[in-house]
Amino acid sequence: MENTELDLNLAEAVVKKALEAGADEVEVLFSQGYESGVKLRKGKVDLLNEAQPKALSLRLYREKRAAVAYTSDFSKAALDDLVLRAMDMAVISDPDPAAGLPDPEDLAFQYNENLGIWDPAIGDIPTDVKVEMVRRCEDAAFAFDPRINNTGGTTFSTNLRQIGLVNSLGFAGTYKTSHCSFGLDAVVDDAEGKKQNGWWFTISNNFKEMKSPEEVGRIAAQRAINKIGGRKVKTRKMPVIWDPMVASDLLGTLAGSLSGEALERRSTFLIPFEGQKIGSDLVTLVDDPLRPGLRGTRPFDGEGVAVHRKNIFDKGVFQGFIFNSYTARKTAHKTTGNATGGIGSLPGVSVSNFYIEPGKASPEEIIAGVEEGLFLTEMIGFGYNPVTGDFSRGAVGWWIENGKLAYPVAEINIAGNMKEMLANVTQVGNDLEFLFSISSPTIRIDNMTVSGL
């Protein structure tokens, strides 16, 4: 079977073909890359995988009727068929005046290709080097405490990807991004046949910036040991200290309520609050797609629009929603360059590198300031209603008594309302580290309902 490599020329050819077939506006998005994984469990390699995924997505409009089609077959016959299928689908859609490509003046005809997110060395790490690193990580976890007796395994993953975007307004852009990671699940026996796990990881766009395997192994082991003997606490309201992992998770939950899609679907509690102060003075939330070397860094958004740094919350004031061009037109706003390009779907909306501006206190100082409360280290479940802001998750952590960690707690629940939680942020730590695209330092939120006994 004939198969062509993806490049901007091929994408341009598909755009041309669709215009010839009668489309008014056309965009082609493609992604191709290389990914691999090596998994070690108890000293033995138990998974080797490798692949070169690729896909091409065609978005077109005819008389403002939208259609999207995708394929991973790039033969001429398949691409011809793709255009025909998309034209057929456009007939089914209803015309929508807000539909279409971005306004030409918003497109990133010039963009910065050197954002520190591409490290080709990641593709050349020899398998034995990866195995050695995860072996050191696992050894460090088992050596940390004799009670660590099992693991779900440690996978060293690499991912290299090229993204390309071409549209009928003359935009043609491409960039490469890479990352590598490994994480360890350390397991320990608890009372009554229960087992507890502790997970830690390192991920980076650049091989040299990965954390040491020993550090990752030790932290995973410590997190498992910390959970032994967890008990419930009494149901009542109290301050909750969120470690950076769970605080990032909370920010990620909030992020969904900030999008123009949520505004347009009337499915966010933030609708009445554009421009209003609803958070405490400590709540400054930054979205920075141009900050170099991070997971959310990108030179242009998912439909080729120029991107920039902005505060979505500034000292507690909600500055406004984030948009792609469709949701912006639909709600009489300007796009904020937050489109995400989906293979096989219309563009969505999402934050890029999204974080809470760090404060001055260390995590230890924040804990020391709590008379009675919860130090939260893990959450489970998906209890968030974006329409009302009601938040409720299962929780694991430590009970704080007189400023000190007293004993582990488990099988409890924390609940609150996102709007009130933003107002009740009373401390923000100085320990911001960009673990994910969404990151946070330690934070303190007062007056949360903790349910247990």
Partner 1 sequence: MTTENAQAALGFFQARYGIDQTILNDLLAVAMSRGGDFAELYSEYRQTSLLNYEDQAVRQSSGGITQGMGIRVVQGDAVGYAYSEDFSVESLKHAATTAAQIANSSQGKVNPIDATILSGANLYPIEKPTIDARALEKLEIIRRVDKAARAHDPSISKVSVIFADELKRVLIATSDGRLAADVQPLFTIRASVIAEKDGKRERGFKSASARRGLEYFDQIISPEEVGVFAAKQAVTNLGAIDAPAGIMPVVLGAGESGVLLHEAVGHGLEGDFNYKKLSNYSDRVGEKVASELCTVIDDGTVPHTRGTLNIDDEGNPTQYNVLIENGLLRGYMQDRISSAQMSVAPTGNGRRESFRKYPMTRMTNTYMLNGETPFDDLIKAVPRGLYCVEYGGGQVDINSGDFVFIVTEAYMIEEGKITTPVKGVNLIGNGPEVLSKVTMVGNDFQLAGNGGMCGKNGQSVPVSLGMPSVLVSSITVGGTAA
- What part of residues 171-190 is at the interface with partner 1 (CB under 8 A)? 187, 190
Q: Which is nearer to partner 1, 50 or 371 (CB)?
A: 50
Q: Which is nearer to partner 1, 246 or 306 (CB)?
A: 246
| Residue 340 binding partner 1, by CB under 8 A | no
**Least separation in angstroms between CB 63 and partner 1:** 13
**Least separation in angstroms between CB 362 and partner 1:** 29
Q: Which is nearer to partner 1, 327 or 353 (CB)?
A: 327
Q: Which is nearer to partner 1, 51 or 368 (CB)?
A: 51
- What part of residues 402-421 is at the interface with partner 1 (CB under 8 A)? 410-417
Alpha-carbon span 222 to 200, nearest angstrom: 10
- What part of residues 100-159 is at the interface with partner 1 (CB under 8 A)? 150, 152
Which residues share a beta bridge with 306? 300
Element (H, E) at 409: strand 404-417
- What part of residues 365-404 is at the interface with partner 1 (CB under 8 A)? 380-383, 385, 387-388, 390, 392-394, 396
**Least separation in angstroms between CB 236 and partner 1:** 5
**Least separation in angstroms between CB 128 and partner 1:** 12
- What part of residues 24-83 is at the interface with partner 1 (CB under 8 A)? 41, 44-55, 57, 66-73
User: In the numeric block, which tokens belong to residue 179?
Assistant: 């990352």
By DSSP bridging, strand 354-356 and strand 438-439 are parallel
Q: Kindly report each contact of residues 102-107 with a partner whose C-beta sits within 8 Å and lies 24 or more positions away, as own/partner.
A: 102/169, 102/303, 102/304, 102/305, 102/325, 102/335, 102/339, 103/325, 103/335, 104/169, 104/170, 106/305, 106/306, 106/325, 106/334, 106/335, 106/337, 107/167, 107/169, 107/171, 107/300, 107/304, 107/305, 107/306
Binding mask 271-300 for partner 1 (x = CB under 8 A): x-----------------------------
Binding mask 227-256 for partner 1 (x = CB under 8 A): x----x--xxx-------------------
Question: Mapped to the 3 state alphabet, what secondary structure does 197-250 carry?
Answer: EEEEEEEECCHHHCCCHHHHHHHHHHHHHCCCCCECCCCEEEEEEECHHHHHHH
Q: Which is nearer to partner 1, 90 or 247 (CB)?
A: 90
